[in-house]
Amino acid sequence: MSRLGTLGARLYRGEVGYDFVGKRKIWYGISILITITAIVGLAVRGLNMGIEFKGGAVFTTPKTSVSVAQAQEFAQEASGHPAIVQKLGNGTLRIQVSELDTAEANQVGKELSEDLKIPAGQINFELVGPSWGEQIASKAWTGLGVFMILVVIYLAIAFEWRMALAALVALIHDITITVGIYALVGFEVTPGTVIGLLTILGYSLYDTVVVFDSLKEGTKDITKQTRWTYGEIANRSINSTLVRSINTTVVALLPVAGLLFIGGGFLGAGMLNDISLSLFVGLAAGAYSSIFIATPLVADLKEREPAMKALKKRVLAKRAAAAAKGGSGEDGDAEPHGESQDALPGEAATAGAVVGQRGRGRGRPSGRRR
């Protein structure tokens, strides 16, 4: 078995692990800081909306040796409006100029043919009306709203309302960060971006639901035992699915990274940037939120219940009693200051002692009866 497989098995059995839930305030703080940065970037820089949302003309030239900077200068001089120029993989240029009507687009096309030294008939252009972009944006918001409502309803039925609320917070967290990164980087927002944003919601929910399912199984009849608190079982659920979450995220990120860095960067396929950046950032944010935000938030909400508070008191009281007896040597059934094979990750460090399996008596040289 590989090292990663061995680590996954040990995490699943609870032999090793990291205290995600116990250090949740750190992760909350990091998420708040990143979210504030994204919101500030969005407020200061704003989104670079594509021509599909603003309206205008898109000019496509044949293969040319003219640089992007020169073509952008020519287009701005000819139209009097800001222009966006992308060099495609086959050496052609895609020039976008917003706020042009048909007559203006024809005039700009003629001037571009003279400046770029390309026959006028070889420069194609198409007009995009702003009303079409408004329809796309409206439908995207409608789709997002319906998706959120259905997700909350399903999770509330399949699990409970606290998990539905935590998943909703995680989704909003992922969308805010992705949109903020778009504003900071300055990438153009196109219908491909909207598709990418809607796609990442499914990936984010996938990891979250996997952990929630493990948590649901682990907390059945939780009040009938006095070994673990709700937060500790939640922490064990995260650790038991950690390697699986990492594997699925890495496998999903690799092809998206190829689209973003190779397709959009080296090959010059600018349209790939629209969807690949949203997918790349959203997948990473979704993996982070499912581990560090969603499940710790559920534990926070759940441990405020009177039943969970009472359970935690009983668990800590039993551990304190076991530690006192074990330390004085009065009870041979306790394992003092140690961690049993099936103890939760970090449990001994948190409580000081863990109630373990029945073992040999401490007052005898061996466990044999005389």
pLDDT of residue 327: 52
pTM: 0.72
pLDDT of residue 281: 87
- DSSP 8-class letter at 132: H
User: How many angstroms separate the Cα of 238 from the Cα of each of 15, 48, 242, 334?
Assistant: 13, 38, 6, 28
Alpha carbon 140 to its chain's center: 20
Contact 166, 295 (CB under 8 A): yes
**Kind of pairing between the strands at 188-189 and 48-49:** parallel
Q: Furthest-apart CA pair in the chain: how many Å?
A: 107
**Please, how many CA atoms are within 13 Å of residue 8, restricted to the half-sphere of its CB?**
12
Question: DSSP string of 321-339?
Answer: HHHHHHHHT--TT--TTS-
Beta-bridge partner residues of 127: 57
- In our burial notation (b when 16+ CB lie closer than 10 A, e otherwise), range 350-365 reads bbebbbbeeeeebeee
Q: What is the CA radius of gyration of the chain?
A: 29
**Which residue type, as a one-letter code, is found at position 340?**
S
Which contiguous run of DSSP H or E holds residue 246? helix 242-257
Helices (H) and strands (E) in the chain — how many of each?
Answer: 14, 6
pLDDT of residue 355: 33
- In our burial notation (b when 16+ CB lie closer than 10 A, e otherwise), range 310-343 reads ebbeebeeebeebbebbeeeebbebbbeebbeeb
127 SS3 class: strand
pLDDT of residue 330: 40
Contact 241, 211 (CB under 8 A): yes
Beta-bridge partner residues of 128: 56
Place of tokens 């076991």: 322
CA distance 80 to 82: 7
Mean pLDDT, contiguous 10-residue spans, the chain (370 residues): 59 68 91 92 84 80 82 84 77 80 82 82 77 74 86 90 92 90 82 81 84 89 89 89 84 83 60 77 88 92 91 91 68 38 41 36 42
| Ordered domains of the chain (ranges, CATH) | 18-49+132-302 (1.20.1640.10), 56-128 (3.30.70.3400)
323 contacts: CB under 8 Å, gap ≥ 6: 334, 336, 337, 351, 352, 353
CA distance 251 to 4: 15
Task: Tell which residue, 220, 205, 221, has the closest CA to residue 164.
Answer: 205
316's tokens: 């800590």
Q: At what angle do helices 102-116 and 68-79 cross, to 10 degrees?
A: 140
113's tokens: 């043919």
pLDDT of residue 162: 92
